[in-house]
Amino acid sequence: MLDFIYYPVSWILWVWHKVFGSFLGADNGFAWALSVMFLVFTLRAILYVPFVKQVRTTRQMQELQPQIKALQKKYANDRQRMALEMQKLQKEHGFNPLMGCLPVLLQAPVFIGLFHVLRSFNRTGEGFGQLGMSVEENANTANYAFSAADVQSFLDARLFGAPIAAAMTTPPAQLAAYGEPIPTIWTIAVVAVPLMIIASVATHFNSRASVARQSEAAAANPQAAIMNKLSLWVFPLGVLVGGPFLMIAILLYWVSNNIWTYAQQHLVFRRIDAEEEEKKAKALERRAENAPKPGAKPIAGKKAKGAAQAKAADSSTASDEVDVTETSKSAAPGAKPKPGAKPQANRGKNTKRKR
């Protein structure tokens, strides 16, 4: 039913196993562990752009919280009008609520696909694919992109002596099928328990980083407060409680996913913070350029227009005075006209009046 998810996940895991198996050995536990980790890194890299959009959407939603609350208060008795006004507000600011949950919606089928593909390597008990199939029978069964030989390689792979296909709750009868030396619950616990603790602590700190970046208004929301408590304490505790039921390969997925999340959060948040600081700096520069100089009185409206007209009139008057002065100088008695200059009509009249 979900083969369109299972096959891509299986092919990515197959490629990484071929890469690491080429120099570590196909049956090497570290080759399979690194393959699982880089499968997670590959899938998370594909989802990087939606994650950045999710962060920007969350920031934008926090900035719009005062306006959203105002609309909710204003149209508390008119749900239809409130919905219209909310859509109008979102359209004006280019806000898309779907981007806030898109990465989560995309990660869910990816995790389901990974979980199913890894569990399909081990179909030796209840809840693991074909019920009642032994390890020997499973080793001769292909698994999506993996051949029967690849499945056998996965079942033989061990990490510090523990089969990566086994869990702490795997029945002893099934552990005996993994061959010599026969693993025990303690052999598996030596590897599984540290992975569980790392995954739980990483989940807590990732949640703490997200909560710390919430605005005061968002953190004060009762629903947000409940979700914050769940993500800070309940989810990490769930990793510890559910860890014994998960095979080591799944625990490796959980650890590598938290490592990627921790690094990605700090990288993206730092980048967005730098962009916001740059925007603020540019806004301050524009404000400084448009501000009046120190000591200068601001001129606005008609005063500015009148001052400009007066200045133009003064310059025109000064120009006329210069022309008159030049004319009077040229018209003075005994003054010789400049070469090529036209005789002035008033010159004779002024001479007659003097006589």
- Parse the chain into domains and list their residue ranges: 159-275
Report pLDDT for 353.
46
Report pLDDT for 354.
43
Report pLDDT for 313.
52
Q: How far apart are CA 90 and CA 123, in angstroms?
A: 49
pLDDT along the chain (355 residues), means of 10: 85 94 92 94 88 77 76 80 80 66 71 83 47 52 84 89 90 81 90 94 87 66 76 88 91 91 87 81 80 63 51 51 46 53 50 44
CB 235 within 8 A of CB 203: yes
The model's pTM is 0.70
Please give the backbone phi and psi of residue 163, each rounded to the nearest 5 degrees, phi first. -65, 130
What lies within 8 Å, CB to CB, of 125 at 6+ separation is: 131, 170, 171, 174
Q: Which residues pair with 159 in a beta bridge?
A: 162
- The rounded Cα 239 to chain-centroid distance in angstroms is 25
The three-state DSSP-derived secondary structure of the chain is: CCHHHHHHHHHHHHHHHHHHHHHHCCCCHHHHHHHHHHHHHHHHHHCHHHHHHHHHHHHHHHHCHHHHHHHHHHCCCCHHHHHHHHHHHHHHCCCCCHHHHHHHHHHHHHHHHHHHHHHHCCCCCCCCCCCCCCHHHHHCCCECCECHHHHHHHHHCEECCEECCCCCCCCHHHHHCCCCCCCCHHHHHHHHHHHHHHHHHHHHHHHHHHHHCCCHHHHHCHHHHHHHHHHHHHHHHHHHHHHHHCCHHHHHHHHHHHHHHHHHHHHHHHHHHHHHHHHHHHHHHHHHHHCCCCCCCCCCHHHHHHHHHHHHHHHHHHHHHHHHHHHHHHCCCCCCCCCCCCCCCHHHHHHHHHC
